[in-house]
Amino acid sequence: MYTIAFVDDETLVRAGLRAAVDWSAHGFEVTGDYSSAEEALVAVSSNPTDVLFVDIMMPGMDGITLIERLHEVQPDTLSVVLTSFGEFSYAQRALRSGARDYLLKSAIDEQRLTEVMAMLKDELDARGMPRSREANNRDKGIRYLFESSTDAALSPDVRGDLPPDAIPLRIVLIVPGSDAGEVPVGTATSVTSLVRPVFESAPYARVIDTGDRTIGAFLKVADETLHSMLDAVRRTIRLHANLDARITAVQPVSGDVGQIDRSLARLRAESVAEFYRGPSADAVRIVRSDSDPRQRGPASIENPGQVYDRIDARLSGLLTEAAATGFHNELTTLIAAGWAKGIPPVDFKEMLYALATGMYRSAHGLDSEFPVVPSAALHRNIRESAFARGATMLLEQVFQAIAETLQERMQHDRVPVVTRARAYIARHYTRALPLDEIARECSVNPSYLSRVFHQTTGATFTDYVNRLRVDRAKELLLSRPGVFVYEIAQELGFEDSAYFSRLFREFAGTTPGAWRKSHES
């Protein structure tokens, strides 16, 4: 019998679902109901549930986030979202995140529930479920072993009937993806059910979704059988999922913890190396556990964090200059640094999304019509990239689009902005006049104003204001012959008359007093 649980902040909704149908008659046992997504995440993470009905809108963590978080730790759990009128856009997002169906709360009845349960049961049956508690524990431990490779993962439940130390194991990592290098959420879970029958023809086979859009397997086969089996797995994925897969196997591995640990480390290192270097020519590769793929990686004297900080600091300048080549070169350096330091792909991709956020923040600072943060779709596309270059290409595309838009708006807005700035300067030049103040008045970024002001007038902002003051000083020197030079300086906003005299000499070629004498009639 399969297990099912309900997640909704409304007690009446949960109670209504329990009473709506005879769940046991449909092959399901209700094992829990939870009033919040946070409570459900903790409970289901430690006690796997086959099916979860999830309210899409709840206080705190919403249903979509719960589905995505659960997929990372319990990828076999199927979810159905509960929604109300006006929430269909959220329901569509939930379906894209891996939910199997949605139910309109006001229209839940026995017939609709029966249809949904039949669909879910068919999918679970196709997986060979329900599985024993021991099998679930074993898979959970093997997933942990792939992630952390510690002795604790090899508990009796995890080890199960793995062969004794003398029998070598093969450890396999499968990365399904499209030609574009994308690995959509949920792909590994669905592909796992496709390849499990192929692998389980081998003794001691263990096949799991590792939770990182990859599939892992332990099995004992002869060398000649391993090659044909991996080819068959790849053909199966291509035929039924229309996806290409890259498969790496490490051999041989004896059953002792130390050998497994070294082989898993080699497999993880190979996965990281492939992420940075791109797909290898061979779709199926068998490597030795004592080799190190990072030896073939690029040398980098820079720390990835330093490269990131430099790019982040340069974003505004790169965008306004539309320096696509410079941005590309910086990302190439970041890839090299990430590979050299062995940065896990998931961390590297989060670093790229942080750069995307910085890019939008910089664009918003230059033009307030830009959104402050990038779209959730960009975050998802970066996370789903199987290779570093594919992920950075997404950033380059966004960079190009933002830079082109900025250039168009700058060309269109340049003259009106400078006109407003000059008018404001003309009204206020007799006092301290910082660039930030004028930029706020013109509703633009100070660096943008400084650049377009110079491009339009041929003078820097400071030189323009100072020349305006000197020209006005000349008028006052002639029109007020009895007024002292220091009084004119104060009237024009100069507290230091000596500085005013030096500035006047810089623009007029002589001191204020000498200029006045030479121009008196």
pLDDT at res. 133: 47
pLDDT at res. 323: 80
Determine the topology of domain 459-521 in CATH: Arc Repressor Mutant, subunit A (1.10.10)
Q: Specify whether the CB–CB gap between 429 and 475 falls below 8 A.
A: no
Among 3.30.70.270, 1.20.58.60, 3.30.1360.70, 3.90.1010.10, name the CATH number for the domain at 133-293: 3.30.70.270
pLDDT tens sequence for the chain (521 residues): 889 999 998 888 888 888 888 888 888 989 888 989 988 888 887 778 899 999 988 888 888 888 888 887 788 889 998 887 555 566 667 676 778 887 877 777 788 888 888 888 888 887 764 544 445 544 544 444 454 443 433 444 444 444 444 345 556 666 665 444 454 545 555 667 777 777 766 665 667 665 555 666 666 666 677 778 888 888 887 787 777 777 777 765 555 555 666 666 777 777 777 788 876 666 777 666 666 555 455 555 678 888 888 888 888 888 877 788 889 999 999 998 988 888 888 889 888 988 988 888 888 777 667 777 777 788 878 887 878 888 999 999 988 888 888 776 666 555 678 888 888 998 888 888 889 899 888 877 787 788 888 888 889 999 999 999 999 999 899 888 888 999 999 988 888 889 999 999 999 999 999 999 888 76
149: left (phi over 0), alpha (psi -120 to 50) or beta: left
Q: Specify whether the CB–CB gap between 63 and 54 falls below 8 A.
A: yes
- Sketch the domain layout of the chain as residue ranges: 2-126, 133-293, 298-454, 459-521
> 110 is written with which tokens?
């026995």
Give how far Cα 27 sits from Cα of 7, 121, 232, 392, Å.
Answer: 20, 8, 34, 47
147 closest CA partner among 77, 69, 211: 211
Please list the alpha-helical segments (H only) found in 37-163: 37-46, 63-73, 88-96, 110-126, 133-148, 156-159
pLDDT at res. 228: 81
Give the rounded distance of the alpha carbon of 27 from its chain centre. 39
pLDDT at res. 190: 63
pLDDT at res. 240: 76
CATH of domain 2-126: 3.40.50.2300
Q: What is the DSSP letter of 372?
A: S
The rounded distance, in Å, linking the Cα atoms of 266 and 249 is: 10
pLDDT at res. 464: 92
The rounded distance, in Å, linking the Cα atoms of 267 and 216 is: 10
The rounded distance, in Å, linking the Cα atoms of 3 and 28 is: 5
β partners of residue 245: 176
Q: Please provide the distance, in angstroms rounded to a whole number, between the alpha carbons at the two ends of the chain.
A: 110
Give how far Cα 389 sits from Cα of 246, 276, 349, 393, Å.
Answer: 17, 7, 11, 6
Q: Is 495 exposed, middle or buried (0-12, 13-18, 19+ CB in 10 A)?
A: exposed
pLDDT at res. 87: 54
Q: How many residues does the structure list for the chain?
A: 521
